[in-house]
């Protein structure tokens, strides 16, 4: 994941039963929302639309004008077949 809210460049391997613990404003909810953007089919296209507020503040005052990209990718491995697949959500 890169450039999404306060998660500038994050790669987190998750296993079954993962628990997120951290201080307030550390990015727990942002991480879950980013994963949801990619995997939750119940989100409408309106709910998936990102705005300038979704870009990391470290990218400056006009990340959309500077053509910065938010990238969220999720790789899911099926342990029975050891086959991996991924889905990506890229927003400009």
In the numeric block, the tokens 């050891």 are attached to: 82
What's the whole-model pTM score?
Answer: 0.77
Instruction: Please state the domain count of the chain.
Output: 1
- 21-80 pLDDT, tens digit each: 999 999 999 999 999 999 999 999 999 999 999 999 999 999 998 999 999 998 887 766
In the numeric block, the tokens 């628990």 are attached to: 19
Q: CA-CA distance, 41 to 22, in Å (whole number)?
A: 28
Which residue range is the domain that position 10 belongs to? Answer: 2-91
- Nearest in space to 10 (alpha carbons), one of 39, 42, 40, 33: 33
SS3 for 77? strand
Q: Which of 44-48, 82-86, 88-92 has the lowest mean pLDDT?
A: 82-86
DSSP-derived letter for residue 6 is: T
């Amino acid at each position: 994941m890169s450039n999404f809210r306060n998660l500038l460049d994050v790669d987190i391997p998750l296993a079954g039963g993962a628990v997120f613990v951290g201080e307030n404003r550390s990015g727990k909810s942002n991480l879950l929302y980013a994963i949801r953007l990619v995997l939750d089919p119940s989100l409408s296209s309106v709910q998936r639309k990102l705005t300038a507020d979704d870009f990391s503040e470290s990218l400056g005052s006009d990340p959309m004008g500077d053509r910065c990209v938010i990238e969220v990718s999720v790789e899911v491995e099926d342990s029975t077949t050891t086959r991996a697949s991924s889905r990506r959500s890229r927003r400009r």
